[in-house]
Structure 1
Amino acid sequence: MNDDIYKEKRDELRISFIKFRDNATHLVSQISSILPGLTQHDISHLDALWEVADLICGDDYPLNPLEAFVFGGAVLLHDSALCFEAYDNGIEGIRQTDIWKDSYASVSENVTDVAEAEKIADFSALRALHAHQAESLTEKSWVDPETKSPLFLLENNTLRKHLGKLIGQIAASHHWSIEDVASKLPNQVNVLPGFPRDWRIDPIKIACMVRCADAAHIDNERAPDFLHALIKRRGISYTHWQAQNKLASVDLDQSDNTNSTLLFTSTHRFLENESEAWWVVYDTINMIEQEIRSSNALLESRQVETPQFQVKRVKGVESPELMSKYVQTEGWNPCMAEVHVGNMENLVSSLGGEKLYGAGCDKFEVILRELIQNSRDSIHARREIDKDFIGQITVRLISDDNGVCLYIEDNGVGMSLRVLTGPLLDFGTSFWTSSLVQSEFPGLRSSKFKSVGQFGIGFYSVFMGADKVRVSSKPWNGGSSDVRQLNFNNGLSLRPLLKHEIPEDFNSNISTQIKLNLKEGILESTDKVLIKRNQMRAEDLEVSVEDYISSICAALDVSVYFSVNDSNCIEIHKDIKNETDYSDWLKRISYSKYQPQTVENYITTNIHRLRPIIDNDQWHGLAAISVAPTTEQNFLSLNAVGGLNSSVHHRSGEHYMGYIDRLPQSAKREGKGYSASDEAIKTWALEQVELLKKEGMQPLDKCILAYNLCYFGVDPIDIGYVFVIRNDMPEFLSFKELADLSLVEDIVFVKTDLMEHIDSHSQINSLPGQTLIKPLRNSNFLSLKMEEGIPVKNYSILDCLYREIVQSGYEPSFSVEKNIGQSFMGMNDGLVIRSTK
């Protein structure tokens, strides 16, 4: 042959590749022991890709010897990093990566067994890292245990030096998008000295060959019967094995005389209980078709002359029914019967609007809270990435003849194009809990960062009150050229307009800006907002917009600024931990200047008792237990979720003044249990008791304190008093005094048949010869719940009295007196407790 003059170079490539393959064989043999759940990733899979690539490309596809060497090397490397031996420091090295830590943090939320969680995180991290690690595997060395000399997968120093990095890049590219293949890889790489010039390398062509061949290699060879049975796989991995175990080797469709169609067939029929595996096959074959089409489209679009692959399509992908002719089933028929929503916009509008928050909700409050919460999460995320970062949120209102525009701006992490067009538009998916967060911000999932947003619904609340919405954002470390806009120009639309330009009112210091054109009636004035009470004969309040917004942000650990009609921004809320005047803060969030002077007087008298509730060095509240007998809606307390007020309306100071953080119960953001531990709440409450003791308390104070200690799940038995009526006279008695009294007199709790609770509506005001427990207000302190004849330990009056009686060495007994009086709730019974020595 004329080109035999290059036999030496061919032999060099062949010998180097054989040795390269031998070394890679040892490395990939470790994969099955580390990740037994995977289908075969050993040398048989790597060798098979040559045949699959030949099938897809066609017999006459142009590939010179140097390109063949690069292709073979990329095939050897593409999955070789799916084992610990491919990384510095092995398993420990893997477990020090952000990817592993993020995976472990995610897994441990649902898996309590540490060893099991670590194994799952190992699997996840290796899958996530292996493509990137493949890029540097030719440069990685291992130490010969005998000679201590470095060993390389590609031993030929010249080929490794000049082609190693390229081979690694092409290997890594099998996990890239096709757009990244086109942009990241060069169009041409020239030959090494001594090789014929026309052996020049086309990296993009080779990358397309690798990704298509790897995708199309699904058959029984990768999931052999005996190994399948031997390893006893479970879950998702089992389904993938089951899927591939029934497939024959891929082939060309012989009914297509152009040889441009791939055909997948099964060797066994999929039974009804194997339907999930069949759908795995169907989805995988559709993915293969997409890889082939996108690769051919890329090859066709290039300015360099590169032929497309011979194969252009896969047979049967048009429908499940058609595919079942080739990948056959038995006892069931696959069809495209998927759950779908006929009117997605209506669903989003309902579940993200008034149906979620309630028809009578304050829409402006909901919108502000949801958007400020998103900004808070973004700022907290950036604080984990940029340790010296503080951050701020700005709320702006612009009023003109066209109506009112609301702006919410922050300088948090911002949103990339992937986030802006991905999780933001994926109704019901929170970016912070999606897999995308691990690639956008490695290490964030395993950090101390905890988002308030969990449900992926909050953003859609804006459409309750806005007929036009614009979202503009860029990554925090990006430039002005990275700003993208999403425009909802006609209210809620699932196809917003995406624009790559900076809005005129987008400040360079911010990362994200939300602009809303508010609907008529959402905000009547940029000066005043109505705060509602829901008690009879109680007057509503009219407060300034800035006080209204300040109360929404009451417990936020981010500064908030406010501006109207482009006036200078003023700070209306400081990071709660940096607040210097808590008296002013509490007066502001309770609207005290709009209320009777008694509210401000109470704040002034009790503000010194305000203490943070701290758990694991984190603030979960700033509050003082109330001993005021009033239940009026004086707005002195609030429940917060993630630092944001759950409601600016209908608030009292019945149990405490200040704020306490709660866990989000649902997408509505209403709170359920405390975010702090029971121990942290107890520590705070007992500190409050000591402060009150030092000041001196009257019996009424101790009675109200007992109600509120019970509310916080703290035992009031040693400090609390109970209000009773005895001999027609009101008294306050300690639990010890009540226990002693039970030796000589009945202690009566008034109830109805329908309730395990003292009836606070009873008209009974005295019981001759008996001591009547008289409630001051409705509370858990009034519980009469019993189990097996003994009061449940819930710190109620009944529970505390029972325990005090037993502790005093007395023997309590219970009885029920029927129909002792009348109530709004029906006839009253009396639960009687009496003791003997």
Structure 2
Amino acid sequence: MAIRHSHARCRGVTTDSPHGTLTHGSYPEYRATTVLTSYHAEQQARGVNAVESTGLWQKTLAVQESDPHAVARNRLRAVYLQAREFSRLLAGEISRDLPSYTVHDITHIDALWETADLIAGQLYELNPAEAFVFGCAALCHDLAMSHSAFPGGLPSRAGLKRWNDTVYMHFKHAYGRAPSAEEISGPPEEVKAKAAAELLRDLHAEQAARLPHEQFQDGDRDTQYYLISDPDFRNTYGELIGRIAASHWWNPSSLPLEFASIIGAPPAFPRDWVVDPLKIACLLRVADASHIDARRAPGFLRAIRPLDDQSRRHWIFQERLQRPWLDGDRLVYTSSQPFAPQDAAAWWLCVDTLRMVDDELRSVDTVLADNRRQRFAARSVAAVRDLDQLAKQIPVRDWYPIDARIRIGDAIDLVRKLGGDKLYGRNPTVVLRELVSNGVDAIRARRALDENNDWNESSYKLQVQLIEEEEFLWLYVRDNGIGMSPDVMSGALLDFGRSYWTSLEARQDFPGLISSGFTPIGKFGIGFFSVFMLGDYVCVKSRRFDQAARDTHILTFEHGLDGRPILQRARSLDALKYGGSEISVKISRKNCRKSASRPREHIRPMRVALPCPGRRSRGDRWER
């Protein structure tokens, strides 16, 4: 469970461990990040024993009596233990680079076997090859939350544009102004640290997919290391292990699409040692989400780590949680220590986290059932929706757990009030202003990204058109700007009051945009919703400028805010040739008569002064 971040100077991975099979007590000396090195080494040895004591291990990779497949089983076990040893060293770097995070070292990875064993249940079927893939994916899933997991360096893997965007955002947050080009290339250390920490968290799953094949070079020497040293196993299972490791960060609904096929056994293995990636990916994600207990947040580490308030809450509640147990098909979490009023925020964070675990278990159970896979024994978390009962399992002292957060009872009504005529009055100018502002932002964003475009200034166009029919008017606002993907059309566009331009999604979708100096003038969410002041039938057509015409999509509101919009791919005749967006609204003449002024009075030719490429704008000027 990842929390807040920090940063430290990057060092190379030290790999002075033996290449052979790891034996108990043979751990190499390693400069640990805690002050209790000998105690920490003892914990590592206990970790191997803890893994080997689980039913999951005993049924799959442990030595079996009269085993006809002993050679294959022993080879899987030896390669896993060697990979575990290298992963132990790499996982030890995480606490140095992200000291505010709860424990992500090898003890967390080892505990996933125990947690998976509890969740799957004693009767769950897993063969040795699947256990090997699960174990290696568990090794990789969080390893990239350290600079050492990026042999080429974090900025290199993230890409210079994305690195600059992240630095830009943290600089602006810290200093209240946009940084200069020199300040982006050489940011203050605290800004650099926060940018690096954010990218480690954002990219760790993506890098986890590469780790099984990632090569670690010993400086200028010819010595090369891989987490999975056996080239046959690395070639056979490496890519699959990486994808499963990365999948713990994906939406669970995507798992059946990504892991639709069962993988056959290699020639040297028994025929029935097939690998079902879907069930392994499901098991890894729920085991990772569910492992929250005192082992993740030792009190002494909390005392010596630099923690902000949010991080401290994570440490406090996890330190007080005991290992969960299974009651029927529900995980039960308990605490032996009550939460006093000063720890109320930590208790509520615990509630939110347990509800997240509950959501994961329920989602995975649905995925398994819908795809006709064997379901896990644990399918939910006990008492997470009943605060009185949960307070008995995780007690409070001298206060009452009343969930008194601010709620929005009628979100649609709020949108009408804050995004419509109850705020602005019946003035069509407001709608034009907001829609045109969004269009201008889209054009300016495209110009900032289109470095090699041979378009001149007159090539970027924004058009406002009013078409009259017998009973209706149609208002069109078109631009050939940056355009929207289907995800943005169905997500950020409809997220009332949220700014897409400064979001993580925008930085991922358009690297380099924020650090180019682009500053939006429109209100991406509220601005769009103002269109419903004019009519209920609204159509949004868009495609990204860097995609093909066939990627044009249409979002249609047939009944205003009261109905669900329909998203569909545009027909070839409706596709946008050059990218950008078109918003159209159907206006009844009855609404026109109610308006304080008529729409045509406000649809006049407009000229927009756009900043020249490469020049930072002091603001956009509008002229009629």
Q: TM-score scaled by structure 1?
A: 0.61
Q: The residue matched to 2:468 in structure 1 has which SS?
A: strand
The answer to which of 261-270 and 66-75 deviates more is 261-270
Q: The residue matched to 1:190 in structure 2 has which SS?
A: coil
Task: State the number of aligned residues.
Answer: 541
Q: Tell me, yes or no, if structure 1 residue 115 matches structure 2 residue 189.
A: yes
Matching residue within 249, 253, 258 for 1:175: 249
Aligned residue in 2 for 1:295: 364
Aligned residue in 2 for 1:40: 103
Kept in 1: contact 2:550–2:575 (CA 8 A): no
Aligned residue in 1 for 2:296: 222
Q: Tell me, yes or no, if structure 1 residue 471 matches structure 2 residue 540.
A: yes
Distance in 1, matches of 2:620 and 2:386, equals: 47
Kept in 2: contact 1:364–1:523 (CA 8 A): no
Q: The residue matched to 1:155 in structure 2 has which SS?
A: coil
Pairwise CA distance, 1:392: 2.3
Q: The residue matched to 1:182 in structure 2 has which SS?
A: helix
Change in Cα spacing, 1:95 to 1:160, as seen in structure 2 (3 Å) is closer
Change in Cα spacing, 1:249 to 1:213, as seen in structure 2 (3 Å) is same
Matching residue within 228, 236, 242 for 1:162: 236
Kept in 2: contact 1:379–1:413 (CA 8 A): yes
Matching residue within 35, 58, 68 for 1:5: 68
Aligned residue in 1 for 2:420: 353
Change in Cα spacing, 1:115 to 1:396, as seen in structure 2 (3 Å) is same
Distance in 2, matches of 1:556 and 1:384, equals: 11
Matches within 5 A, 1:46-125: 46-91=109-154, 93=156, 96-112=159-175, 114-125=188-199
Aligned residue in 2 for 1:376: 440
The answer to which of 89-98 and 373-382 deviates more is 89-98
Matches within 5 A, 1:138-217: 138-144=212-218, 148-217=222-291
Kept in 1: contact 2:259–2:277 (CA 8 A): yes
Q: Tell me, yes or no, if structure 1 residue 364 matches structure 2 residue 428.
A: yes
Query: Can you list the C-alpha shifts for 1:25-77, whole angstroms capped at 9, x where unaligned?
Result: 00010000110010000000000000000000001211111110000000000
Matching residue within 452, 475, 488 for 1:419: 488
Q: The residue matched to 1:405 in structure 2 has which SS?
A: strand
Distance in 1, matches of 2:347 and 2:466, equals: 55
Aligned letter for 2:414?
L
Kept in 2: contact 1:319–1:335 (CA 8 A): no
Query: Can you list the C-alpha shifts for 1:259-310, whole angstroms capped at 9, x where unaligned?
Result: 31110111211122222211211111111111111112111222xx520101
Matches within 5 A, 1:448-487: 448-454=517-523, 456-479=525-548, 482-487=551-556
Matches within 5 A, 1:593-608: none
Kept in 1: contact 2:438–2:523 (CA 8 A): no
Matching residue within 310, 315, 319 for 2:386: 319
Q: Tell me, yes or no, if structure 1 residue 512 matches structure 2 residue 576.
A: no
Distance in 2, matches of 1:499 and 1:108, equals: 37
Query: Can you list the C-alpha shifts for 1:68-111, whole angstroms capped at 9, x where unaligned?
Result: 00000000000000111111333553675444332222111111
Query: Can you list the C-alpha shifts for 1:761-781, whole angstroms capped at 9, x where unaligned?
Result: xxxxxxxxxxxxxxxxxxxxx
Change in Cα spacing, 1:319 to 1:440, as seen in structure 2 (3 Å) is farther
Q: The residue matched to 1:227 in structure 2 has which SS?
A: helix
Distance in 2, matches of 1:80 and 1:287, equals: 22
Aligned letter for 2:281?
A
Aligned residue in 1 for 2:501: 432
Kept in 1: contact 2:557–2:566 (CA 8 A): no
Pairwise CA distance, 1:511: 3.5
Change in Cα spacing, 1:446 to 1:243, as seen in structure 2 (3 Å) is farther
Change in Cα spacing, 1:3 to 1:425, as seen in structure 2 (3 Å) is farther
Distance in 1, matches of 2:294 and 2:331, equals: 17
Query: Can you list the C-alpha shifts for 1:3-36, whole angstroms capped at 9, x where unaligned?
Result: 7221111111111111100000000100001100
Query: Can you list the C-alpha shifts for 1:725-756, whole angstroms capped at 9, x where unaligned?
Result: xxxxxxxxxxxxxxxxxxxxxxxxxxxxxxxx
Matches within 5 A, 1:444-593: 444-454=513-523, 456-479=525-548, 482-493=551-562, 495-502=563-570, 506-509=574-577, 510-520=579-589, 548-550=604-606, 553-556=607-610
Distance in 1, matches of 2:252 and 2:285, equals: 10
Q: Tell me, yes or no, if structure 1 residue 128 matches structure 2 residue 202.
A: yes
Q: Which has the larger radius of gyration?
A: 1
Query: Can you list the C-alpha shifts for 1:331-377, whole angstroms capped at 9, x where unaligned?
Result: 222233221233333322222234544x4x7x232222211111122
Matching residue within 337, 340, 349 for 2:407: 340
Kept in 2: contact 1:243–1:277 (CA 8 A): yes
Distance in 2, matches of 1:498 and 1:36, equals: 46
Aligned letter for 2:377?
Q
Q: Which has the higher contact order (CA 8 A, sep 6+)?
A: 2
Query: Can you list the C-alpha shifts for 1:548-606, whole angstroms capped at 9, x where unaligned?
Result: 231xx34246xxxxxxxxxxxxxxxxxxx69xxxxxxxxxxxxxxxxxxxxxxxxxxxx
Kept in 2: contact 1:373–1:644 (CA 8 A): no
Distance in 2, matches of 1:467 and 1:96, equals: 43
Distance in 2, matches of 1:206 and 1:507, equals: 41
Aligned residue in 2 for 1:406: 475
Aligned residue in 1 for 2:56: none
Distance in 1, matches of 2:416 and 2:572, equals: 30
Pairwise CA distance, 1:521: 7.2
Query: Can you list the C-alpha shifts for 1:178-200, whole angstroms capped at 9, x where unaligned?
Result: 12222122421112221111001
Distance in 1, matches of 2:515 and 2:321, equals: 40
Aligned letter for 1:219?
D
Kept in 2: contact 1:432–1:454 (CA 8 A): no
Distance in 2, matches of 1:232 and 1:224, equals: 14
Distance in 1, matches of 2:220 and 2:415, equals: 66
Q: Tell me, yes or no, if structure 1 residue 643 matches structure 2 residue 596.
A: no
Query: Can you list the C-alpha shifts for 1:457-495, whole angstroms capped at 9, x where unaligned?
Result: 2112222223422223333344566444333334443x4
Matching residue within 350, 374, 391 for 1:307: 374
Q: Tell me, yes or no, if structure 1 residue 284 matches structure 2 residue 353.
A: yes
Kept in 1: contact 2:473–2:587 (CA 8 A): yes
Aligned letter for 2:79?
S
Kept in 2: contact 1:100–1:121 (CA 8 A): yes
Q: Tell me, yes or no, if structure 1 residue 385 matches structure 2 residue 449.
A: yes
Aligned residue in 2 for 1:244: 318
Kept in 2: contact 1:289–1:313 (CA 8 A): yes
Q: TM-score scaled by structure 2?
A: 0.81
Kept in 1: contact 2:538–2:557 (CA 8 A): yes
Q: The residue matched to 2:538 in structure 1 has which SS?
A: strand
Structure 1: gaps of 5 or more residues: 254-258, 532-542, 558-576, 579-615, 621-640, 649-837
Query: Can you list the C-alpha shifts for 1:673-726, whole angstroms capped at 9, x where unaligned?
Result: xxxxxxxxxxxxxxxxxxxxxxxxxxxxxxxxxxxxxxxxxxxxxxxxxxxxxx
Aligned letter for 1:245?
E
Change in Cα spacing, 1:324 to 1:644, as seen in structure 2 (3 Å) is farther
Query: Can you list the C-alpha shifts for 1:404-452, whole angstroms capped at 9, x where unaligned?
Result: 1001122323222322222222211121122221232233233332221
Kept in 1: contact 2:543–2:553 (CA 8 A): yes
Q: The residue matched to 1:457 in structure 2 has which SS?
A: helix
Aligned letter for 1:349?
R
- Alignment root-mean-square deviation, CA: 2.7
The answer to which of 48-57 and 385-394 deviates more is 385-394
Change in Cα spacing, 1:297 to 1:97, as seen in structure 2 (3 Å) is farther
